[in-house]
Amino acid sequence: MRDLVEIGMGRTAMRGYDLDDVEIVPSRRTRSSKDVSLAWQIDAYRLDIPLVTHPTDAVVSPATAIRIGELGGLGVLNAEGLWARHENVEGELAQVVRTAEEGDGPDAAIAMLQQLHAAPVRTDLLTEAVRQIKDSGVTVAARVSPQHAEELTPTLLAAGVEVLMVQGTIVSAEHVSREGEPLNLKRFIGELDVPVIAGGVGDYRTAMHLMRTGAAGVIVGFGQSRSATTTQTLGIGVPMATAVADAAAARRDYLDETGGRYVHVIADGGLFYSGDIAKAIACGADAVMLGEALTETSEAPGQGYYWTAAAAHPNLPRSEVVGFNSAGVDLETLLFGPSSDPYGTLNLFGALRRSMAKTGYSELKEFQKVGLMLCR
């Protein structure tokens, strides 16, 4: 029974836990980290590490999507981002960064992003960006919003997209609207020959509903980061340890319901350090979605600045443009080391491998059974 806490007369709230609230408990067994596999597979696509990039122009360009793929992860291009709207994206991003650095500040950078995203999506630019990734030989993934999924998906599939992500701040299987016909996610997914990852969600019920649409993966969380302002603007947030565990429970029940159909759970938010990645997997995630953590690489298009796609919303942006002290490391070092940083901001997946070894697990699915303890 879920723990309910009375917050006032006649009003209760569910108790939830963030990743900071739990710790991984070692078992009686350890093993060599050389014997640990970080591989996972979604549909027909096998990946060497459980990494999916957050689809933001700040960290994902066609070039970085290719590099992430070469390193074993899944780079996701935002099909409604700047690479689909402008020819000189590097120049436009440089102007956003200059605006954020100079006296006009982050609000002016948001206004500039809104202006840049007011330009229409050009199918020729989108096709060229996707084909650049396709020609490299890595798995091609792109993100669309629920509002534009039906409009843009034919172009994406024709260009070679192999994994489609339908992502918004909150995505449900049922959207009620008086304005036109909303996206029927179950019908939409059923008509496609490529796997679809959908989200975000924050509870068991919504995760189960999305799984029943035929989604191959469900995104849990709303991209919580230092730049995201969804809690401040909408009052909406999720404690990630609880949300991931609830979605994992939905996955288990859906597996029983369907007689064996497995849906992947992807954690998106609250992942600031390598230990957070390990704890998200331990709570039940199959993979993690990283954005902010990739900002400090030399390849990041945002040049040390980070924002989510929601920063460009024309009426209610839900992300700041936040600058970080760029370490200037390359993606390979960020993901696999070596590292001289003792705080878990480098060698992210080397740390996951070591955490699994220290607790005696050799596979990601096994590591989801590791012991956890509340520490707050």
Residue 137 has pLDDT above 80, yes or no: yes
Tokens of residue 271, six digits: 């992942």
What digits encode the pLDDT tens for the residues 160-184?
Answer: 999 999 997 556 555 444 455 678 8
The residue behind tokens 């020819």 is 87
Question: Is pLDDT above 50 for 192?
Answer: yes
Instruction: Identify any residues that bridge with 13 across adjacent strands, giving them in sequence order.
Output: 5
pTM reported for the whole predicted model: 0.94
- Do the Cβ atoms of 291 and 223 come closer than 8 Å? yes
> In the chain, what percentage of residues exceed pLDDT 90?
73
Assigned CATH topology for domain 4-374: TIM Barrel (3.20.20)
What pLDDT does 326 receive?
A: 63
pLDDT at 271 over 50: yes
The pLDDT value given to residue 179: 56
> What is the pLDDT at residue 173?
52
Cβ neighbours for 3, distance < 8 A, ≥ 6 positions apart: 14, 15
Separation of CA 183 from chain center: 21
Q: In 32-185, at which residue ranges do the beta strands (DSSP E only) sit?
A: 40-42, 45-47, 51-53, 76-78, 141-144, 163-167
Residue 241 burial (CB count, 10 A):
25
Beta strands in 84-205 (DSSP E): 141-144, 163-167, 196-201
Query: 304 preceded by cis ω (within 30°)?
Result: no
pLDDT surpassing 50 at residue 133 = yes
Mean pLDDT of 8-24: 92
Of residues 185 and 349, more confidently modeled:
349
pLDDT in tens, 57-96: 999 999 999 999 999 999 999 999 999 999 999 999 999 9
Residue 314 binned pLDDT confidence (cut-offs 50, 70, 90):
confident
Q: What pLDDT, in 10s, does the model give residues 147-161?
A: 899 999 999 999 999
Mean pLDDT across the stretch 24-33?
88
Residues 6+ apart with CB under 8 A from 119: 85, 86
- Which pLDDT score, from 0 to 100, does residue 234 have? 86
- 200: pLDDT strictly greater than 90: no
Strand partners, 167: 199
Average pLDDT on 184-198 reads: 94
Tell me what pLDDT residue 172 has: 56
More confident of the two residues 331 and 168: 331
Residue type (1 letter), 10: G
